[in-house]
Chains A and B, each alone.
Chain A
């Protein structure tokens, strides 16, 4: 009995070499002893698919002793996925740096006008930054989990990484579902302005004015921004749904679905992180005056004319632009005498 179990174990360990073992059998044709465990283990692990048996334990996948796809998933996880993620992130970082150092930063044509117009309401900005904060948290914790073996363990060692991984996983799982909520807020709030409009294609053909100095006409959002919006929404929804499948394993989903969800989740997340880096770059270092719209809600009229001339024209037609003095008043800064309110010490 002892011999049998050791033999079975050896056979199990040698499974990946099973193909070679079969040929060896032909060479050493001595006394052929039928291993009583062979059929059992062959049945247990049928190479390419998980075989079902029966078990006293009644739960999802409890009848499957070995899941061969798990190996495949694990290889994907530490190999392809990590390579794909690192290459993607390095390339996008390089491209953005290249754009910046080659003088790609887009200035406001003709300088500021001193007149401003409202671009984003309070609620829109709160929705945007809520999504942004949650996204950044999830991206950081997610990447920490993804790059544990290749980057963090060599850096911090196993002990500290196990702690970081636990913290990241718990944080990622708890905050994750809120992402969906904030995504829906952004989806609902911005959807009407992100529908394809005539003229958008023209913007695309001219490369969005990203390269060179040509003036490209656009409405409230240009096609690039619309594309970003839809990538965010679609990838975001895919990430959310697959994330919920992963974080709540109580809907009867088995390993196969979980593995699939994880692949989809991580690939979509890498794509979204990469595109978001482009978004962050363009909104901050890449263009002058864009971030103001998300900070104060107001942008300079010249900025609007540079990037969204049709929208700027509409606002001017409706007389919606205000002077910088009026803007200062609306910000609570308009005082005849120079007055400052002391801020609390502490």
Chain B
């Protein structure tokens, strides 16, 4: 009993447990549909590209995983969520495509500017959006949700302006040594590029957290802003930095998302991604009230969400109906985590123990 207790109280218990649960459901579904039980885990190489459901989950989940990095920091430092990331993704993608295709051009087969300019512009735009949100939150004491609400509604609209209300297609394929726009959402060798990008982002962030005091300072700001300021930390600048990183992550995610479809579709890129990113953070066992955070949990959470989505598509649920299950899953997870619910369970357990104790005594 105590050993089970120990395991359930581990930091990564919830996200890992969810992941295993999803995989189990996959196995059961596969058996029910008459496939090989382990077809979820099989990886094969077709036409020189990695192929398999787990690769698909890793590939499609990259954007949410990248967003989850920034979101974890924001949640930890400011006890609030950045709901603008989806719109910022769209804005960055539109800005990038506008730079590469030229303003007002709806389809192009050659770059108007070198690719690197577009990429840097995209990332810069993300940083700018993050800085805007961060300034409002850190220096003007606006609640994070309200502050990011501004860009939530404006960023997508500005993106539409950049694209002149068009969907900008950049049809520059990668061939040989010349790198096309589809590189970020396509493949390098047999491996999908988004997986590599996500892995690099996670690795860089992990190194920063391990080698510097950044993570610790962010947590202390999240736990008590005033106390950490008195202890000598520049709380405001730290919060600003977290939002800038979150914006940068949104920029990278936007680049990947738009490269996947080699176009800038302002209305659909990053739609509802902010919800997925926040969900990833919550699934990772992080408190949305700020303070301590666990990056690994968030990343696993992000891939778990993608695994849930892929599983549902695999089981024949349409993409419009899938949110029902997502909603139910979210509620179950947060209810399990809620302190009053835990207390209730503890009370029940105590009652049962008392009852069994009494029985033992009477016998």
B partners with A:
no
Chain B residues proximal to chain A, CB less than 8 Å:
none
